[in-house]
Structure formats: C-alpha cells, structure tokens
C-alpha cells in the first residue's frame, strides 16, 4: 500500500473515528457482531468509556463490535483512542473507565499518585518489542547487548556489527510514548540513552517506520516499535525486523516467549473502579477464551 493511502486510512481510524468513516477498514475481522455469538452483551449506551493506544485500535474495535453485536464499521463510532499518554491522563482524571495500553511510564505513575489514583494494570495480549532497519542493510540480527550499546552511544558504526562502514542513525520516540516507555523499561533499563537530536525524535509510530525505510535510500537507520503495529497496522516493504540473540520476532516466538523482548499489552483501570461495573465485566471477558479468540482473529498474539 502506498504511503499517502495508508496514512489516510490511519488518520481516519485514529483522529476522526465517526460514523462517516464506515469505508475505512482496520486490520482484523471485517465484523465483530455479524453473527458472532459471545456471552457478554452491552448496548452502545452501556458500553464503558474505552480509551487507549494506537496499537490497540483494531483490537478495541473488534471487542466493541462483538460485545455490542454490531459490524465493526458501525461499532467504530463508539471507539475513540487518544494515544497512550493521553489515555492514561483520561483514566486518571476520570474521563475513561478502562484503557488498552502498554505499561505506564514513570511520569504517568507519578501523575496518578499525585492525583490520589492507584492504577490496576492487567495483561491482556502478548507483543514483541522489535528493532528494524532498511531492507538494504546486510545486518540480519544483533545481540540484545548490541542494541543497548547502540542507544547508549557505545556502538556508532554498522561495521562493528558486520555491516557497512556507515554511521548508525538511531531514531528514538518521544517521551511518554508507549514505544519510548517500552524501550527504557525493557531494553535500556539502568543504562542511560544518548540524547537524540531533535530530527531523530519521532512523534508517531508510523513515522519512525517511514524514516528508517526511506532514510536517503540508505542502510544507516535503525528504529523500534511493537511487533503487531509494524506487522499489521503500518508495515513497510522497505524495512526488515532484526533477529535478537538469534531469534526472529514472529507470532510463534512471541507466543512461546522465546523471542528475547516479549511484552504485554494491558487493560488498565482505576483501583477504585467498582466490582461488577461494566468496565470490570469487559476486562474479565477479554481474558476469557472468547475474548482471547477475538485477539487472535484480529492478528494479535493472545496470552494463552
């Protein structure tokens, strides 16, 4: 799919999310409510206020469609995700009942504490944190420590990893994005990241893929994101995902935990969310065989 068309579709899904967008179809099943029997049922008026990350939009739409017994095109008007950080803020401030997101950043945890809110984080899907390079880069894989060394400034040239004699262009995501939080918590941990110049800090998930794919038609760039997003929501024929410690990221290696950087995508509620509320009923249902089946049908890696 050409870039302008793909970007237009993503903008339809993320920004507008209104009934007139019935022609914009997400990755995943074409309908959730067309004849699909599930044990949990809400009317649109009963459906909890769901927010979340860009990464979880297709799952959220499929869940809403199944539970409200609506085609996805019709259910979409009730699904509005405001990206990871904004979803956390909306939950903390009481404008959302449940959010589908990556784990909270330190800043988000601190903000919740300052507001007297305790967050309840419940894993709902598996995902892999992946690194990708231009398709022309001869490097097929790196060690986990190599990634840490690249982003801490210790390794600066691809020839150190068996590639060409070219400086590594290491893209980063913006602070408090789900990808940046994942990078800091799962990869860098106690090792400080180098401070990237402004032109290497990417604001949205799709643009970091494009930047690596198109960087001067060169092999210098590297970026990171979540497996589901790159594989199913954005993708690009001009990048390749790197093997880490000799293991390629795919559904099987992520599902079996053999890929070295397996993460969870979570449901998050406020701890004071009442027992038996619509949000808690939805959270419980997502962990059932029915809910996890929706995840699988939507192209995600379920917990089981």
What average pLDDT does this structure show over 127-142? 96
d(CA 89, CA 92): 5
Which long-range contacts link 245-251 to residues 24+ away (Cβ below 8 Å)? 245/141, 245/143, 245/144, 246/141, 248/141, 249/128, 249/130, 251/301
pLDDT at 36 over 80: no
CB 58 within 8 A of CB 232: yes
Q: How far is CA 101 from CA 63, 74, 84, 162, 265, in A?
A: 15, 23, 6, 36, 6
Q: How far is CA 273 from CA 53, 92, 98, 122, 282, in A?
A: 20, 11, 9, 13, 12
d(CA 264, CA 274): 24
Residue-wise pLDDT tens digits, 89-119: 999 999 999 999 999 999 999 999 999 999 9
CATH dotted code for 3-125+264-302: 3.40.190.10
In this predicted structure, what is the pLDDT of residue 202? Answer: 80
DSSP class of 242: P
Residue-wise pLDDT tens digits, 248-269: 999 999 999 999 999 999 999 9
Express the helix, strand and coil content of the chain in percent, nearest 5 each.
40, 20, 40
DSSP H or E run through 130: strand 119-134
In this predicted structure, what is the pLDDT of residue 8? Answer: 39
d(CA 123, CA 189): 20
pTM of the model: 0.79
- All CATH 3.40.190.10 domain ranges of the chain, comma separated, are 3-125+264-302, 128-262
What average pLDDT does this structure show over 271-283? 98
CATH dotted code for 128-262: 3.40.190.10
User: Comparing 155 with 205, which gets the higher pLDDT?
Assistant: 155
d(CA 125, CA 72): 20
């Amino acid at each position: 799919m050409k870039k302008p068309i793909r970007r237009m579709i993503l903008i339809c899904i993320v920004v507008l999310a209104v009934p007139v967008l019935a022609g914009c179809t997400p990755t995943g099943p074409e309908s959730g409510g067309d004849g699909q029997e599930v044990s949990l049922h809400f009317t649109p008026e009963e459906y909890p206020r769901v927010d979340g990350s860009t990464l979880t939009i297709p799952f959220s739409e499929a869940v809403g469609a199944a539970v409200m017994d609506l085609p996805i095109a019709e259910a979409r008007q009730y699904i509005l995700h405001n990206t990871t950080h904004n979803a956390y803020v909306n939950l903390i401030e009481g404008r959302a009942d449940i959010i589908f997101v990556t784990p909270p950043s330190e800043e988000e945890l601190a903000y919740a504490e300052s507001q007297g809110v305790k967050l309840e984080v419940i894993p709902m899907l598996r995902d892999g944190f992946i690194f990708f390079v231009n398709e022309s880069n001869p490097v097929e894989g790196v060690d986990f420590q190599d990634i840490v060394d690249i982003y801490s400034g210790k390794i600066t040239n691809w020839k150190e990893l068996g590639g060409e004699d070219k400086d590594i262009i290491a893209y980063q995501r913006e602070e408090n994005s789900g990808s940046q939080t994942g990078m800091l918590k799962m990869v860098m941990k106690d090792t400080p990241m180098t401070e990237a110049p402004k032109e290497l800090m990417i604001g949205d998930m799709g643009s970091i893929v494009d930047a690596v794919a198109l960087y001067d038609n060169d092999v210098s760039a590297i970026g990171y994101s979540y497996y589901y997003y790159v594989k199913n929501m954005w993708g690009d024929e001009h990048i390749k995902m790197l093997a880490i410690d000799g293991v390629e990221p795919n559904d099987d290696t992520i599902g079996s935990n053999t890929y070295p950087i397996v993460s969870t995508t979570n449901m998050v509620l406020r701890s004071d969310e009442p027992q038996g509320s619509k949000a808690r009923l939805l959270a419980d249902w997502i962990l059932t065989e029915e809910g996890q089946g929706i995840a699988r049908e939507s192209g995600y890696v379920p917990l089981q």
